[in-house]
Chains A and B, each alone.
Chain A
């Protein structure tokens, strides 16, 4: 099974990129795919990923210089900064260490310098469509 996890705060503009992609994907019939929309990644989300052969994380990523660039990145501020929200890298480490699960995984990030509002709605929507097209056509 493929699991797609979009996460972000829908009250914070471009931070909601992952959630907005999931909303679009819900309109497609994606075979053997589970869609998860989350405010943030929390430890117990691993229980919903145990059946996954492939996991796609979709998020907005802070980047001052490359606003609206789409990228695949595993970078994070600090792997030890563990509080109530955690990174995709930690989720994958949990699946491997605790449940002996080794899914393929991808991260699709939209670079943004504006988490709190949508700076350019046209480009923002275009980036959502690009990710949606990429995922849906990969069926």
Chain B
């Protein structure tokens, strides 16, 4: 038996290694993703004042800091027993959607599109952003413009593009000025055009990737997401919903503060990434997926016209049941980009948003708070325990990427079994093993709490557990 190791995994955020175990016949027996970095936020936040938590936990990530700020301030809203004014909530929602938009844009235009343009078997020298800039310059410019749009909103309303400070317990730090609103609204038509163009490109090219659609983490699993009572798409409010692979709602209306009754957190000794699971089904049978695919499977509608039209097409892929193919995460993210642009426009045109009162203040009223929001990659939980003086005594974070850990591992195994031939290990096969992880758009720095330097390695281990080959993907 041999083991193949992909280390570092490329075009993802963070450090990871993949090992592929081969049996005595040289067939793939198992495959795993190992997240090799440790952060430790849960421990070093202990002893800090609750007021510091949004700023500290935003440093968990340079790409989705807004999600952490939102979940953190929502947890503190509970501790302070505050309900922010509607204007403050709307500002938070706009910033959250702007981040979703820029993050999804980065994944599609800059990380994943080289595979869609040149194919998974293209020489790796061609499968990158540099080649794309030469052959598809307009697409690259579109990606830059769309990301700039999201980042600018975060900067304008949140104070900074990265690690914004404008989301605070009790609401938002500043009201939106009319001039800011007008500048954002003026860009909406162009941004929608870019987003719709990207989705059209993806749909037009989908037929080239049937093998990948069928083998990239395409299996039954549960799905979890925040959703509203009427099952409209939600990224900020709502309650938690679990759906099975047949489309049955198996548990609905879970208040986020009760998450521990339904979500267990397993730890494997070969990865720093926790493996959350749906408690009633046990570990690992309680595997579930989160993120754009889960959100669109659970949502009955987006609540915005253009996204709703695309959601209909998306739902048709599942034939009345949830879409189980993780390759369609890309599809779902593109629909969510359209949704985010439309929703930002709706929120900006809501009269409440422009209200002068954007926050309220209070003192510590409860000793436990849970904040939950939909990050680009899925459902994010921040739980804090504090003393009555406001000193943090306990922190638990369930990061969006971690929720997908079991599914990513199952996906890596499925792809390795479909494409890796131990007698002829091609770069295309190894690229697919990485690409299945990229479907989930994992943020590994975020999920284990290290520097955002990308890395990737593949190890091949024989049936005697001896490493027979190491492939460095750099």
Contacts and interface: CB of A to CB of B under 8 A. Distances in A.
Interface of A: 11, 39-40, 42-44, 46-47, 77-85, 90, 93-94, 97-99
A90 B133 CA distance: 11
B11 interface: yes
B133 A81 contact: no
B300 interface: no
28 contacts: A39-B62, A39-B160, A40-B62, A40-B162, A43-B147, A44-B144, A44-B145, A44-B148, A44-B151, A47-B144, A77-B453, A77-B474, A81-B453, A81-B454, A81-B474, A82-B454, A83-B11, A83-B12, A83-B452, A83-B454, A84-B62, A84-B63, A84-B106, A90-B129, A97-B133, A97-B137, A98-B133, A98-B141
Contacts of B313: none
A96 to B, nearest CB: 9
Interface of B: 10-13, 59, 62-63, 106, 110-111, 124, 128-130, 133-134, 137, 140-141, 143-145, 147-148, 151, 160-163, 452-455, 474
Contacts of A11: 59
A47 B147 CA distance: 11
A39 B164 CA distance: 12
B474 A80 contact: yes
- Chain A binding surface, main DSSP class: loop
A93 B130 contact: yes
Nearest to B140: A98
Contacts of B454: 81-83
Contact of A83 (B111, B133, B151): B111
A85 B445 CA distance: 13
B146 to A, nearest CB: 9
A70 B198 CA distance: 44
A84 B452 CA distance: 8
Given A40-B62, A77-B453, A83-B13, A98 B144 contact: yes
Contact of A46 (B59, B128, B144, B474): B144
B128 A80 contact: yes
A78 B140 CA distance: 20
A43 B143 contact: yes
Nearest to A46: B144
Contacts of A43: 106, 110, 143-144, 147
B359 to A, nearest CB: 25
B434 to A, nearest CB: 12
A78 B474 contact: yes
B55 to A, nearest CB: 10
A94 B130 CA distance: 8
Contacts of A94: 133, 140, 144
B162 A39 contact: yes
Nearest to A39: B162
Contacts of A99: 141
Contacts of B134: 97
A40 B62 CA distance: 9
Given A85-B62, A93-B133, A97-B137, A42 B13 contact: no
A74 B106 CA distance: 24
A81 B8 CA distance: 10
Nearest to B13: A83
A83 to B, nearest CB: 5
Given A47-B145, A77-B474, A79-B130, 12 more contacts: A40-B162, A43-B110, A43-B144, A44-B144, A46-B144, A47-B148, A84-B63, A93-B130, A93-B133, A97-B130, A97-B134, A97-B140
B144 A80 contact: no
A81 B10 contact: yes
A40 B161 CA distance: 10
A42 B111 contact: no
A99 B144 CA distance: 12
Contacts of B144: 43-44, 46-47, 94, 98
Contact of A82 (B11, B160, B163): B11
Contacts of A42: 147, 151, 161
A84 B13 contact: yes
A113 to B, nearest CB: 16
